[in-house]
């Protein structure tokens, strides 16, 4: 198969996929029909990246693999398109997620000790239903509390490959701007306010209070 044909096939597969695809998975899909090497696939992906340099879309590498997405520069236009379906998250939920992301693995008790208030079951349910956090074990103390950590889906969602790509924590009492993009997949127009806190409308920037995370 020539390089141009392979490039077009990979582009079509990535456009049709609802999730990122690794090079190994792309290789399995394509070699089920034709013979090609993994190195040829990676080379074709590099060619696609070059093709997209002057376009408003790009091939992004995230934790689970590659995906085609809009570039951040046109986020304002996309916000208009999705304005009516932008999910709303409470500050309590965002603080809880940020604590788990930066301090994992943590128990609900750890989160409550940092935030100074209890963590509602609805917040933890929302985070687990979105596959942003999961239980990775149980702490060996009385009661065996569950320990939570982020998932590969969390990294994919926020266009990260590794946890060390999270922004550095700012100085105490400064808001933590992760500059991460949220979409409305599987949430619709729900008000995920949780704990009665004032909901935060999330567009392109996810603002979390870092003050509660400082030592």
Q: 85-136, pLDDT tens digit by residue?
A: 656 778 889 899 999 999 999 999 999 999 888 888 889 999 998 899 999 9
| Integer Cα distance of 81 and 183 in angstroms | 11
Determine, yes or no, domain membership for 75: no
Q: Which domain holds residue 28?
A: 3-70
Determine, yes or no, domain membership for 77: no
**Helix or strand holding residue 147 (H, E):** strand 146-150
Which residues contact residue 121 at a Cβ distance below 8 angstroms, ignoring those fewer than 6 apart? none
39 backbone dihedrals φ, ψ, rounded to 5°: -65, -35
Instruction: Pull the structure tokens for residue 120.
Output: 């509602």
Residues 10 and 116 in one domain: no
| Integer Cα distance of 172 and 214 in angstroms | 6
Residues 94 and 58 in one domain: no
**Quick check: helix, strand or coil at residue 27?**
helix
Give the end of a domain, one of 70, 91, 109: 70
Q: What share of the chain is helix, strand, coil (3-state, %, to 5)?
A: 45, 20, 40
pLDDT tens digits, 19-74: 899 999 999 999 998 889 999 999 999 999 999 989 999 999 988 899 999 888 88
Total domains in the fold of the chain: 2
Work out whether strand 88-90 and strand 191-192 pair parallel, antiparallel, or are unpaired: parallel
Give the end of a domain, one of 14, 41, 70: 70
Residues 102 and 156 in one domain: yes
Determine, yes or no, domain membership for 78: no
């Amino acid at each position: 198969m020539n390089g141009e044909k392979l490039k077009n096939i990979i582009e079509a597969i990535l456009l049709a996929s609802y999730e990122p695809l690794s090079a190994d998975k792309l290789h399995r899909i394509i070699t089920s029909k034709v013979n090609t090497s993994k190195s040829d696939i990676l080379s074709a992906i590099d060619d696609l990246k070059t093709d997209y340099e002057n376009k408003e879309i790009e091939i992004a590498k995230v934790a689970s693999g590659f995906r085609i997405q809009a570039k951040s520069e046109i986020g304002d236009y996309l916000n208009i398109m999705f304005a009516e379906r932008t999910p709303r998250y409470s500050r309590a939920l965002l603080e809880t997620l940020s604590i788990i992301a930066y301090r994992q693995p943590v128990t609900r008790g750890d989160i409550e000790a940092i935030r100074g208030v209890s963590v509602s079951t609805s917040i933890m349910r929302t985070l687990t239903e979105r596959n942003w956090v999961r239980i990775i074990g149980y702490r060996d103390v009385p009661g065996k509390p569950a320990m939570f950590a982020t998932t590969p889906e969390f990294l994919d969602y926020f266009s990260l490959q590794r946890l060390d790509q999270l922004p550095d924590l700012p100085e105490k009492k400064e808001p933590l701007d992760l500059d991460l993009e949220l979409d409305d997949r599987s949430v619709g127009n729900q008000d995920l306010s949780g704990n009665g806190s004032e909901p935060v409308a999330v567009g392109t920037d996810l603002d979390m209070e870092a003050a509660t995370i400082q030592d």
